Structure 1
Amino acid sequence: MPEPRGEYRDEAGDRNNEDGNRERTHRSRREDRDDRSDSRAIGPRDGNRQRSQRADSDRGDRRNRKDDRSPREDFRDRRDDRPAKRSRDESSTPRRESRSRNEDRYEKHEYRETREPVAKKDRTPVRGQPTRRRDKEEQRQPEAEALTQVRTDLQGTTDWGGLKLEKTIVNSILNMGYEKPSDIQEASIPWQLEGRDVVAQAVTGSGKTASFGIPMCNLVDPDSRDVQGLVLVPTRELAQQVQRELSLIGRDRGISVVAVYGGEPIAKQIRGLEQGASIVVGTPGRLKDLMNRRILDLGYVRNAVLDEADEMLDIGFADDMEFILKRTPSTRQTALFSATIPGFIRGLIRRYLDDPRWVQLVNDSKGLETVDEVDQIFYDVASQDKADGIMEILDDIEEGSQILIFRKMQVGVDRLSKGLAGEGFAIKGIHGGMSQSERNRVMNSFRDGSLRMLVATNLAARGLDIPTISHVINYDMPENIEEYVHRIGRTARMGKRGTAVSFIGEWDFELHEQIVAKIGEDKMIRRKFAFY
């Protein structure tokens, strides 16, 4: 019996010791927690309050400061104060002296290049001659210059009757309000009427759609039910616009034009194709879908056009374009129209165009040229002040003007359109997250003038031709110069005057400097907001 009592007593004692240790541990944890809560309640909150007061004071100083310092200067001062990066010579890490695999490859490449190539009668590219492609491009450039000279010689001397068009086509063109051909139309239409492949590059708003639409409608056979004309475009809105313009051009000849694109029920588009279409305008994705369903047959296509080809390749339509073009006759006539023709477009031209005639009506090889009728105004503004800046600009614009505002993100479009609507402006937003029926409704309202202001992403920047737009506002700057050219090209259409306003934020200074270097300082107008 004593042993069990002692054993019980020892167990109880151990239990009491454990309870005491546990209580002391909980007590110390509570004290630490109380200390931390006290420190949070006293120190950092006072620090946050002081920082908030300093921020309010700085904001007031910035609003009321009398010096002429702009956000650009403040940003550059902060950038200059950053510590300089350590150079490789100052680094403690020794520089590797071993040879890299790329260096060995480079020497081998140089060796192959210096070897004398074997002469061949068929003049096919010789292995070891990487300069062969460069020579071809150099041979084509004088041809583009020659065509530009031809266009200059013909300027002002050609009317629609001199282009040898069908009378019904000429009547339709005159009814549309085109009194005489534009420069790009005068230079490119004769080549297309002769059946030659054409690469046409001109500034935005110069009438590229009619440049390929007129010869296409002139050459197709209206009595045939086969698809004879094909136009590939990057966006749904551009497909709708091209379809409308080509329908007006070919109306008197009885030419039917059908547009096919994603976002709408495919059954309606299938019915349009089954009724007979002389010309099909569509996005590559929907065209490929219809071809896989064996509904669309492109075996009788005589004319194919790649409109805004750089945009189609940029958004990932390269495989779809190749799929479509391979299923058209090799004897087809192909034309490529765009405001910009970067280097990667030349590979597409070599694959799908046969000895094309180049029509280049811009000075810069990349097409980074804007029309002189656009007044380009730039404001340096901090991100948090853009809302005040847009209000100041809209108050100064004449009432009744039609305005297009660009933002980068869909959520930004929704926020800005709702915010300005709350200020009493009649405004809507449009972006890729909306249904096709909503987008059509908004665009139709903006096109017929019942809607005066529109906020959009880059969706609306490509190819849309609304001649009544007087102002384009870049609330958010685009990613590159090419997109900037396309955006401001929505105004000053076909010789009219327009205004482009751009907000240069903290992270847009580099892009702005590139724009100035490419387009020219003489075309830029710098202004400051009244609250700076």
Structure 2
Amino acid sequence: MSSDTQNDNEAVTFADLGLSSKVLSAVSDAGYTTPTPIQAGAIPQALQGKDVLGIAQTGTGKTAAFVLPMITRLEKGRARARMPRTLILEPTRELAAQVEENFVKYGKNHRLNIALLIGGVSFDEQEKKLERGADVLIATPGRLLDHFERGKLLLTGVEILVIDEADRMLDMGFIPDIERICKLIPFTRQTLFFSATMPPEITKLTEQFLHTPVRIEVAKAATTASTVTQRLVKSGSKPWDKRGVLRDLIRAEGDEIKNAIIFCNRKVEVSELFRSLVKHDFDAGALHGDMDQRARMAMLAGFRDGKLKLLVASDVAARGLDIPDVSHVFNYDVPIHSEDYVHRIGRTGRAGRSGKSFTIATRGDTKYVDAIEKLIGKEIEWHDGDLSTLTESDEDHGHRGRGRERAGRGRERGERHPRDEHRARKTRDVSETAEQPSAAVVPAEALEERRNRKEAIKANNAEREPHRDNEQPRGNGRQDRPRRYRDEDEVNTVVGFGDDTPAFMKVAMKV
């Protein structure tokens, strides 16, 4: 594996990289003149048909590093039905859709057929695009294999394979799918492989699928941008404590927040935090993997266009999303995987801009914080004192007497409503009533009617008592147990059922 690291590209322009005039015109129209280090290093090698291993932190322009040379190479040739010429694999729907947008933007002077295969979209529409022939096929691994197994796709014509965000593919468990896909593609293909980090599993993958690649590494793996101010914020461990700390941070930053992404570890926390922020009159939206694809794209578009100020998201928004001017990132949860911290805060401070990140940490997050600091190679400053300054009252305030809050609902810390005590008393009264016998809540008239009915039955049985001597014992060991009889004209209603008494229980017993 050869090495080619380029750190100084101040004098390099896109015109120096060997791109076609049509591509250069589109790049110029997009407002770009100077390539980023990863673009300056990867584009010339990709144009020569070499395998490329690109390693760079998020936000450095990796997408354009493979889109621009691919468009140039696709100017010659034409796609055939169901046989795409190039294939780009992405871990998430959002990343795949974003790559499609890049091809549309930079390929506006070309007549490229682009097919996007992602979940949440009709198979029929995707199949129609494949039938027309795709110059560029952008897909998530699962949906790609679905089309292949349905016999709607052939991969024997793929000339260029791009595996993007490889470390994210590893985290999401897509590596077996990628291995299968690579076996379906011609051995003579060109492979462009991009990743922000290089764990051992990814290194093995590159050795398996890349042939004498050119390594372009423009920054130390798993480093954070120097333009991002990072802070840790202490908090109690209860959800209402963390939500209160987050609201205080947002209010304290005030007008400095142009827009912000708030990351949670779990989808259920995304939903709960989103509802909490909306309830407290914050302009917020939500984004997670269980949402319908159209809703996810609409939410992203609203945030990108400035219609939403806060976006509460899972790690589906942590990789590669092209939102260039995010001012703040808030980690509501400390990420369990330290690499995710790098990607999350990489959503801000992009393209040389400044940004801020705040990570809310509890006592239980200490080992995750230590792992993050070890990965990025430096300590993160505390915003208002570290966890050792967290008092017991800070840890528990808002916890006492908050039954509804413990269930994940109800009011936030420090916002007790006057109706809360009334609701608590009402709940206690209901529980105490439920423990009393049912007769305690029966109207007096009904009780009197029951007593009269019982006395009538007793009197009737007493009148029949002499007939018992003439009866033969049943021979079942219960001869000494008295028997009771009813007259046919007696009201045949069983006490306790009311009007809903089953019919078989209303049949009179005959002597």
Same fold (TM > 0.5): yes
- For structure 2, the 5+ residue unaligned runs are 395-511
> Aligned residue for 1:409?
266
Cα distance, 1:351 vs structure 2 = 1.4
Distance in 2 (CA, whole Å) between partners of 1:527 and 1:208 is 36
Distance in 2 (CA, whole Å) between partners of 1:404 and 1:193 is 36
Q: What's the secondary structure of 1:252's corresponding residue?
A: coil
> Aligned residue for 1:198?
52
**Residue of 334, 338, 347 corresponding to 1:490:** 347
Distance in 2 (CA, whole Å) between partners of 1:171 and 1:497 is 30
Q: What's the secondary structure of 1:335's corresponding residue?
A: strand
Deviations 1:234-282 (A, max 9, x none): 1111111111112211121222322111122111111222233210111
> Aligned residue for 2:323?
466
Matched, 1:389 2:245: yes
Q: What's the secondary structure of 1:358's corresponding residue?
A: strand
> Aligned residue for 2:14?
160
Distance in 1 (CA, whole Å) between partners of 2:37 and 2:188 is 28
**Residue of 131, 137, 141 corresponding to 1:274:** 131
Cα distance, 1:513 vs structure 2 = 2.0
Distance in 2 (CA, whole Å) between partners of 1:408 and 1:288 is 28
Distance in 2 (CA, whole Å) between partners of 1:516 and 1:317 is 28
Distance in 1 (CA, whole Å) between partners of 2:113 and 2:376 is 41
CA RMSD of aligned residues (A): 1.9
> Aligned residue for 1:376?
230
Aligned partner letter, 1:180: T
* Larger mean Cα displacement after TM superposition, 178-187 or 224-233: 224-233
Q: What's the secondary structure of 2:28's corresponding residue?
A: helix
Distance in 1 (CA, whole Å) between partners of 2:182 and 2:142 is 13
**Residue of 231, 234, 240 corresponding to 2:88:** 231
Cα distance, 1:465 vs structure 2 = 1.5
Q: What's the secondary structure of 1:336's corresponding residue?
A: strand
Cα distance, 1:354 vs structure 2 = 0.6
**Residue of 295, 300, 320 corresponding to 2:177:** 320
- For structure 1, the 5+ residue unaligned runs are 1-139
Alignment check: 8 A CA contact 1:375 1:523 kept: no
Cα distance, 1:169 vs structure 2 = 0.3
> Aligned residue for 1:479?
336
Alignment check: 8 A CA contact 1:465 1:493 kept: no
Q: What's the secondary structure of 1:375's corresponding residue?
A: strand
Number of residue pairs the alignment of both structures matches: 383
> Aligned residue for 2:286?
429
Distance in 2 (CA, whole Å) between partners of 1:251 and 1:388 is 48
Matched, 1:346 2:200: no
Cα distance, 1:222 vs structure 2 = 6.0
> Percentage identity across aligned positions?
36
* Larger mean Cα displacement after TM superposition, 322-331 or 509-518: 509-518
Q: Which has the higher helix share?
A: 1
> Aligned residue for 2:38?
184
Matched, 1:259 2:79: no
Cα distance, 1:303 vs structure 2 = 0.9
Deviations 1:353-387 (A, max 9, x none): 11111111223xxx220111111111121123212
Deviations 1:70-113 (A, max 9, x none): xxxxxxxxxxxxxxxxxxxxxxxxxxxxxxxxxxxxxxxxxxxx
Alignment check: 8 A CA contact 1:516 1:524 kept: no
Alignment check: 8 A CA contact 1:222 1:278 kept: no
Alignment check: 8 A CA contact 2:284 2:312 kept: yes
> Aligned residue for 2:163?
306
Q: What's the secondary structure of 2:363's corresponding residue?
A: coil
Distance in 2 (CA, whole Å) between partners of 1:388 and 1:425 is 13
Q: What's the secondary structure of 1:170's corresponding residue?
A: helix
> Aligned residue for 1:121?
none
TM-score when scaled to structure 1? 0.69
Aligned partner letter, 1:429: A
Aligned partner letter, 1:460: A
Alignment check: 8 A CA contact 2:39 2:65 kept: yes
Cα distance, 1:300 vs structure 2 = 1.7
Cα distance, 1:223 vs structure 2 = 5.4
Matched, 1:209 2:66: no
Alignment check: 8 A CA contact 1:309 1:345 kept: yes
Distance in 1 (CA, whole Å) between partners of 2:62 and 2:294 is 27
Distance in 2 (CA, whole Å) between partners of 1:524 and 1:498 is 15
Aligned partner letter, 2:62: K
Distance in 2 (CA, whole Å) between partners of 1:522 and 1:410 is 29
Alignment check: 8 A CA contact 2:58 2:319 kept: no
Q: What's the secondary structure of 1:469's corresponding residue?
A: coil
Distance in 1 (CA, whole Å) between partners of 2:271 and 2:354 is 29
Alignment check: 8 A CA contact 1:260 1:280 kept: yes
Aligned partner letter, 2:53: V
Cα distance, 1:320 vs structure 2 = 1.7
Alignment check: 8 A CA contact 1:362 1:369 kept: yes
Aligned partner letter, 1:263: G
Q: What's the secondary structure of 1:213's corresponding residue?
A: helix
Deviations 1:139-197 (A, max 9, x none): x4xx43xx12xx13x52121111111101101111222222100110111111111110
Cα distance, 1:521 vs structure 2 = 3.6
Cα distance, 1:338 vs structure 2 = 1.0
Cα distance, 1:349 vs structure 2 = 1.0
> Aligned residue for 1:111?
none
> Aligned residue for 1:503?
360
Alignment check: 8 A CA contact 1:239 1:281 kept: yes
Aligned partner letter, 1:376: Q
Deviations 1:415-462 (A, max 9, x none): 111111011111111112222222122112112221111101111112
Deviations 1:451-478 (A, max 9, x none): 1111011111121120121111000111
Distance in 2 (CA, whole Å) between partners of 1:289 and 1:237 is 19
Distance in 1 (CA, whole Å) between partners of 2:377 and 2:199 is 20
Distance in 2 (CA, whole Å) between partners of 1:221 and 1:175 is 19
Distance in 1 (CA, whole Å) between partners of 2:385 and 2:250 is 15
Alignment check: 8 A CA contact 2:228 2:349 kept: yes
Distance in 1 (CA, whole Å) between partners of 2:204 and 2:127 is 33
Deviations 1:127-149 (A, max 9, x none): xxxxxxxxxxxxx4xx43xx12x
Matched, 1:440 2:297: yes
**Residue of 2, 25, 31 corresponding to 1:171:** 25
Distance in 2 (CA, whole Å) between partners of 1:176 and 1:210 is 12
Distance in 1 (CA, whole Å) between partners of 2:48 and 2:131 is 31
Distance in 1 (CA, whole Å) between partners of 2:204 and 2:172 is 17
Distance in 1 (CA, whole Å) between partners of 2:162 and 2:384 is 42
> Aligned residue for 2:74?
220
**Residue of 142, 145, 164 corresponding to 1:285:** 142
Aligned partner letter, 1:395: R
**Residue of 216, 228, 236 corresponding to 1:359:** 216
